[in-house]
């Protein structure tokens, strides 16, 4: 089984990822949220507490939640408002970790490309770092969803989006950043970094296009 | 009471915030100034010394000032030139901490939007991190004030601005950066990071607008 | 002889370089690969393992390979997919180290300038940091190669490119980043940093050109 | 006297400044050079060795030079190629420290504004951090000199430039970055950070100008 890792280890690893993303400016304020699957059946996640600064995740900033999104321990505090999205992704994609970053470029491009409902990226070697992609000639579609404060409604839309785009490795919420995932936390981190890179490359390329 | 924290703790926490903002390039040179309220009645602040580099705030770089802006201890050095602005905000907003950053994007946008006397930002999930904002559909108005070297005149203008915009979480001084605050230092830091993020997102979006 | 350094020292030095490039965002995901020559006759490299994150190169993330690109030790894992390119460069240029970064600017410019098959850079003082360049009046040609997943074919093209451009210090792969090298690891690092700087300067200059 | 500091202390302080500038990407490759005056009469500098990476200035990377620019100790290595410029500035401005950074923005703007032979910056609060400037209404002229590999000729031009612009706090060399100085090393660091900030603000503003 792929989720034998215990809660304490998971919390420590999420803190490490939080520091890394914070240094890159991808989780400013208390934005972003990070989770790993710690049990599969029934589904359990270790997920960041609502409002915790991701660059300094102390032990009490990681909460164990059940398949309904409720904290397992009574005094654990409030899990991330977006816990339902994490659970949905973990279930549909059999992901071992789900990461949400909130970078400048993912935010800017999610608005620019909203009319097209997504961004097509192809021809970049970096695409090969996405699981199962053998060549830079791959065309990755990064869908964009309208943002919503109703998490039940939004998680339903995420479920449909994942069904419609079975090959996608990540999606954007409009002016709300990036969701990516992986079979392991390591793979999820790689996917986040690759998609953040690609979005920045596309964003900076757009401005150059007329220049040459 | 919300300000039981002692001066030594306050100084240490401000040093931590200074290092964080310095790493992001938001307090270059000796720009920026940081304060926390350490007593409410009468009002007392722990505030950065004038000319102190914010990335390396030693114990003697934090000064205790009274409600008139004078250093409490005779040999404490000169408090930040903008101490009166901090006191005004702490009083009018009942803030527990006031932070002034001087980033590239807040400086650039303060000039671009000066003719409009402010920047309206809406539709960003990041807005939800501002205290009391329940949805990304919120419209935040970030007012911009003309810069002034006369601190008595400027603090009077800040007082009127805060009265005119009772819901605002931050304001800009023209080509002089950002002021934000919070009930606690943690909240003030969050507000700074959120507004800095939003300004950069707006700044980078402007340049893209024609591209698609 | 210039390659008396032992494998353990080489691995440690590559880890140091990896952390440095990672901090600059030049090896996101698990992109980039780094090698040093540890023997010349027959040629042997210490090179990063395929898929290793460059900011955290542990001892088992560096692999010794022979002149054919095969791992010397049976259980060493899979060397970088681009090992053949490193060997080609080490051979043709008698390089002591070969470094491949995958930055935003090298990626963006590799696409912009692909129609010209390269980028001419001159008039920059930074050029003087390239080995053998005595003046900023030097004109450096940075060739761009089409990307390819067939490493045997690609390494053949690299060989021809190096023969056609005997004075070049670096080249780009289309949407795949930068290759640079040096007689020593220190020199190779310097070359990477200089070329990355120059590409960013050219990229940012392009956008300004019409502004004045 | 203002230069009682000993060589060892000076070297340690320059190493600290080097790490700081390196983290900001202002001294990539082995670019940039840093000096402090350690004696005034006759003039002596502690200056970085030619080709030393500024982010990792070990003890042997700082060299004591006399008023002619020669190393005081026989085996000290070669001082920075631009030692004559440091000596010129230290003499004419009675500076206690001279710092040369080589950032993207100073490089890009030195080319953009070369036809005007300088950049006028006014209206920025950050200007007040320059020694002797009481208000943001100050107009700072940052002259730009053509680059030159002949250091005797170039130092002559620097001398004339400093005489023609007795109030300037810094100057640019064309596509070669920034020179700034101060009465103390602390002040010189402040001046560098302020001018780098202002150049980036001007650079990013230029691109926005048409947008609103």
By the 10 Å C-beta count (0-12 exposed, 13-18 middle, 19+ buried), C132 is classed as exposed
Q: How many CB contacts within 8 angstroms connect chain B with chain D?
A: 75
Edge-to-edge order in the sheet of strand A177-182? A62-65, A43-48, A33-40, A97-101, A177-182, A170-173, A139-145, A118-122
- pLDDT band with cut points at 50, 70 and 90 for residue C59: confident
Contact assignment for B112 to D211 by CB distance below 8 Å = yes
Residues with Cβ < 8 Å from B157, sequence gap 6 or more? B145, B146, B148
- A64: alpha, beta or left? (left if phi > 0; alpha if psi -120 to 50): beta
The percent of residues above 70 in pLDDT, for chain D, comes to: 95
Pull the structure tokens for residue B212.
Answer: 């698609």
- C25-58 confidence digits (pLDDT tens): 999 999 999 999 999 999 999 999 999 999 999 9
Q: Give the pairing type, strands B177-182 and B97-101.
A: antiparallel
Give CA–CA dist B188/A84, Å, rounded: 29
Contact assignment for A124 to C175 by CB distance below 8 Å = yes
The pLDDT of residue A185 is above 80: yes
What pLDDT score was predicted for residue C1? 42
What pLDDT score was predicted for residue C74? 86
Give CA–CA dist D22/D34, Å, rounded: 12
What pLDDT score was predicted for residue B207? 64
Sequential DSSP letters for C88-148: HHHHHT--SEEEEE--HHHHHHHHHTGGGTEEEEES-GGGGGSTT---TT-EEEEEEE---
Residues with Cβ < 8 Å from A137, sequence gap 6 or more? A122, A123
Pick D76 or C38 by higher pLDDT.
Answer: C38
Instruction: Kindly list the residues of chain A whose beta carbon comes within 8 Å of any beta carbon in chain B.
Output: 23, 25, 28-31, 53, 55, 102, 104-105, 107-108, 111-113, 115, 147, 149, 173-177, 203, 206-207, 209
Q: How many helices (H) and strands (E) does chain B have?
A: 5, 8
Who among B129, B135, B204 is closest to A31 (CB)? B129
Contact assignment for C125 to D25 by CB distance below 8 Å = no
By the 10 Å C-beta count (0-12 exposed, 13-18 middle, 19+ buried), D150 is classed as exposed
Q: Which residues of B touch A117 (CB under 8 A)?
A: none
Pull the structure tokens for residue B7.
Answer: 């001066």
Instruction: Kindly list the residues of chain B whose beta carbon comes within 8 Å of any beta carbon in chain D.
Output: 23, 25, 28-31, 53, 55, 102, 104-105, 107-108, 111-113, 115, 147, 149, 173-177, 203, 206-207, 209
Pull the structure tokens for residue B22.
Answer: 């310095």
Do residues D175 and C123 touch, judged by C-beta distance below 8 A? yes
Question: Best interface-test mutation with B: which of A80, A107, A148, A179 has the largest number of B CBs within 10 A?
Answer: A107
State whether residue D207 is helix, strand or coil: helix
Q: Which residues is A97 bridged to in the sheet? A: A36, A182
ipTM, interface predicted TM-score of the complex:
0.94
Least confident stretch, B169-183, C72-86, D87-101: C72-86
Pull the structure tokens for residue D175.
Answer: 């596509």
Q: Which residues of A touch C30 (CB under 8 A)?
A: 129, 190
- pLDDT band with cut points at 50, 70 and 90 for residue B204: very high
- Model pTM above 0.80: yes
Closest-CA residue in chain A for B133? A149
Give CA–CA dist A96/A36, Å, rounded: 6
Q: Which residues of B touch A108 (CB under 8 A)?
A: 201, 204-205, 208
- pLDDT band with cut points at 50, 70 and 90 for residue C211: very low
Chain mean pLDDT for chain C: 94
Give CA–CA dist B80/B95, Å, rounded: 18
Give CA–CA dist A96/A104, Å, rounded: 26
Q: Which residues of C touch A191 (CB under 8 A)?
A: 29
- Residue D69 gets which letter from DSSP? S
What pLDDT score was predicted for residue C76? 87
- B16: alpha, beta or left? (left if phi > 0; alpha if psi -120 to 50): alpha
- A85-114 confidence digits (pLDDT tens): 999 999 999 999 999 999 999 999 999 999
Closest-CA residue in chain A for C103? A197
Chains that touch A (3 or more CB pairs under 8 A): B, C
Q: Which residues of A touch B193 (CB under 8 A)?
A: 28-29
What pLDDT score was predicted for residue B211? 35
Q: How many CB atoms lie within 10 A of CB D168?
A: 17
Do residues C45 and C37 touch, judged by C-beta distance below 8 A? yes
- pLDDT band with cut points at 50, 70 and 90 for residue C84: very high
Q: Which residues of D touch C194 (CB under 8 A)?
A: 28-29, 31
Give CA–CA dist D137/D144, Å, rounded: 22
The percent of residues above 90 in pLDDT, for chain A, comes to: 91
What pLDDT score was predicted for residue C30? 95
Contact assignment for C104 to A193 by CB distance below 8 Å = no
Rounded (10°) CA dihedral D77, D82, D88, D94: -70
Q: Which residues of D touch B107 (CB under 8 A)?
A: 124, 126, 201
Q: How many CB atoms lie within 10 A of CB B28?
A: 27
In degrees, to the nearest 5, what angle opens at C-alpha B146 toward C-alphas D212 and B55?
Answer: 95
CA R_g for chain C: 17
Residues with Cβ < 8 Å from A22, sequence gap 6 or more? A53, A54, A55, A56
Contact assignment for A207 to B205 by CB distance below 8 Å = no
Calculate the alpha carbon distances from D77 to D7, D19, D60 in Å: 16, 21, 8
Least confident stretch, A161-175, B70-84, B160-174: B70-84
Give CA–CA dist C88/C162, Å, rounded: 9
Q: How distant is the Cα of B182 from the closest Cα of chain D, in angstroms?
A: 24
Closest CA to A96 of A157, A43, A23, A149: A43
Pull the structure tokens for residue B99.
Answer: 């932070």
Give CA–CA dist D107/D174, Å, rounded: 7
Q: Which residues is C170 bridged to in the sheet? A: C180
Closest-CA residue in chain C for D177? C125
The percent of residues above 90 in pLDDT, for chain B, comes to: 91
- Residue B66 gets which letter from DSSP? -
């Amino acid at each position: 089984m792929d989720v034998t890792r215990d809660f304490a280890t998971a919390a420590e690893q999420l803190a490490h990822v939080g520091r890394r993303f914070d240094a890159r400016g991808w989780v400013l304020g208390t934005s972003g949220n990070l989770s790993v699957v710690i049990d599969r059946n029934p589904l359990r996640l270790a997920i960041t507490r609502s409002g915790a600064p991701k660059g300094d995740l102390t032990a009490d900033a990681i909460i164990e939640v059940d398949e309904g999104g409720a904290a397992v321990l009574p005094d654990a505090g409030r899990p991330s408002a977006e816990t339902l999205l994490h659970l949905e992704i973990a279930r549909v994609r059999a992901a071992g970790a789900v990461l949400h970053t909130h970078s400048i470029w993912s935010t800017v491009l999610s608005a620019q490309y909203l009319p097209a409902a997504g961004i097509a990226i192809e021809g970049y070697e970096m695409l090969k770092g996405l699981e199962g992609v053998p060549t830079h000639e791959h065309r990755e579609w990064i869908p964009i969803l309208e943002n919503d404060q109703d998490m039940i409604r939004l998680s339903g839309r995420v479920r449909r989006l994942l069904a419609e785009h079975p090959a996608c490795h990540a999606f954007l919420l409009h002016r709300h950043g990036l969701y990516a995932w992986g079979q392991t936390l390591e793979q999820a981190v790689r996917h986040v970094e690759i998609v953040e890179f690609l979005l920045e490359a596309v964003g900076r390329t757009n401005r150059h296009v007329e220049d040459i």
